[in-house]
Amino acid sequence: MNGSAGSQGNHVNGKQVQSADPPILSVFNNGPRHRPLTALRRCRGVLCLVIMPLTAFMMMVYLAPVTTFVVRLFSVHYSRKWTCFLFGMWLAMFPFLFEKINRTRFVFSGEKVPPKECVLLFANHRTEVDWMYLWDLALRKGRLQSIKYILKKSLMKLPIFNWAFHIIEFIPVERNWEIDEPLIRRKLTGLKNPKDPLWLAVFPEGTDYSEKKCIKSQEYAAEHGLPILKNVLLPKIKGFNCCLQELRSNLDAVYDITIAYKHRLPTFMDNVYGVDPSEVHIHTEIIQVSDIPVPEDEVSDWLMERFRLKDDLLSEFLKLGHFPNEGTEEEMSTLKCVANFVAVIGMTCVLSYLTLFTSVWFRIFVVCSASFLTFATLYGVHVPQLVVVPEAGAHAKKSS
């Protein structure tokens, strides 16, 4: 997301001196839509814009107070587990929309991703919807319910979805490092329970790519002796390094993900209407934590080198139309996608019927629940565990 951890702090420091050549822009094909925007696609898009918020609203107002308040009084672990399970059911409708309804082709390449429990993912940020396509990878690995983002605080103003961002414990930042650093550290400390799987996704560029931003990034690089990148922006270090420091002892691996598109860069509404993208290419490199340096200045140089390699990889993609070593992940199961969709829609229909056509107490409950979720989100309230429950046994953390 645009306000990821990578948006915090200053640009990384480079040691290699670069000549101050004029900025070079990458040539991305952003031509006509892959599919025409027909009347049928418009109607389907409107239906999608109704279904997604409605299903989210009904599931949260009826179930979230139970899983995030009542259960959390007894166990933070089980509260997160059940909340994230329900969140994962709802979130799985997006990969279903992308791949099975819109017929967008997803091509995975690089290294085959194992379903690790605690992972730090960092990716390039080409468009406003890059972060959504990580769900397609997470779903295949059984970690959709475990993925979390660091997002800009302005997104917490979105109705309904801000409730979800809060109860799933996404981390909102203000892009003021003095304020954001203690917040990120505090939130990550609370997420380090080895019993709770975590995929934390960050975008070190801090914002999505555009020609204007690319020129500004290249000018900065030329002035400060940094590599001049064509396909990505200069990464920023403080937020990424903070996440790495806090999670290092818990991490099973770090995933370096590079995302590219054919033949047009998608927007959110392109996905809603099903007109783009035609193909999403996701390339993954698995990095062992022991291979990443510890001092911040060395992490800075390491991250810069990773983005230089990303830049080269994207240049090759533009020439060849694909990343190396394709076909690392299997297709999603249509049957499982349809079954999940039916379950979510069926649950929404039942809850909607109870709310609109039965006892007034259901409507009172919805109002009270919505008020509680709004209050908790506005003031960042998470209920503490008050009842101590003996652990059944120590959790054996898998070795990477």
User: 114 pLDDT exceeds 80?
Assistant: yes
Whole-number Å distance between alpha carbons of 168 and 5: 17
pLDDT of residue 350: 97
pLDDT tens per residue, range 60-98: 999 999 999 899 999 999 999 999 999 999 999 999 999
User: 249 pLDDT exceeds 60?
Assistant: yes
Q: What is the pTM of this model?
A: 0.89
What stretches of 201-295 show up as alpha helix (H) in DSSP?
211-223, 238-247, 268-273
Contacts of 90 (CB under 8 A, 6+ apart): 55, 56, 59, 344
What's the whole-number average pLDDT of the chain?
A: 89
pLDDT tens per residue, range 3-39: 555 444 555 554 444 444 444 555 455 667 888 999 9
CB environment 63-102: b (16+ within 10 A), e (fewer): bbbebbbebbeebbbebbbbbbebbbbbbbbbbbbbbbeb
Q: Which amino acid is at 316?
A: E
pLDDT of residue 7: 45
pLDDT tens per residue, range 191-241: 998 899 999 999 999 888 888 899 999 999 999 999 999 999 999 999 999
By three-state DSSP, how is residue 250 classified? coil
pLDDT of residue 157: 87
Is beta strand 279-287 parallel, antiparallel or unpaired with respect to 198-202?
unpaired
pLDDT of residue 375: 94
pLDDT of residue 50: 95
pLDDT of residue 325: 94
Q: pLDDT band at residue 120, thresholds of 50, 70 and 90?
A: very high
Q: Which domains does the chain have, with CATH numbers?
A: 5-12+28-48+100-334 (3.40.1130)
Whole-number Å distance between alpha carbons of 347 and 352: 8
Q: pLDDT band at residue 153, thresholds of 50, 70 and 90?
A: confident
pLDDT tens per residue, range 349-394: 999 999 999 999 999 999 999 999 999 999 888 888 888 655 544 4
- Per DSSP, the residues of 277-298 read -SEEEEEEEEE-GGGS-SSHHH
pLDDT tens per residue, range 299-335: 999 999 999 999 999 999 999 999 999 999 999 999 9
Partners of residue 107 on adjacent β-strands: 281
- The closest alpha carbon to 373, from 148, 68, 87, belongs to 68
CB environment 351-373: b (16+ within 10 A), e (fewer): beebbeeeeeebeebbeebbebb
**Mean pLDDT to the nearest integer, 177-181:** 93
Are the CB atoms for 254 and 122 separated by under 8 Å? Answer: yes
Whole-number Å distance between alpha carbons of 150 and 239: 9
pLDDT of residue 395: 44
Backbone angles phi, psi at 36, to 5 degrees: -70, 145
**Mean pLDDT to the nearest integer, 173-180:** 90
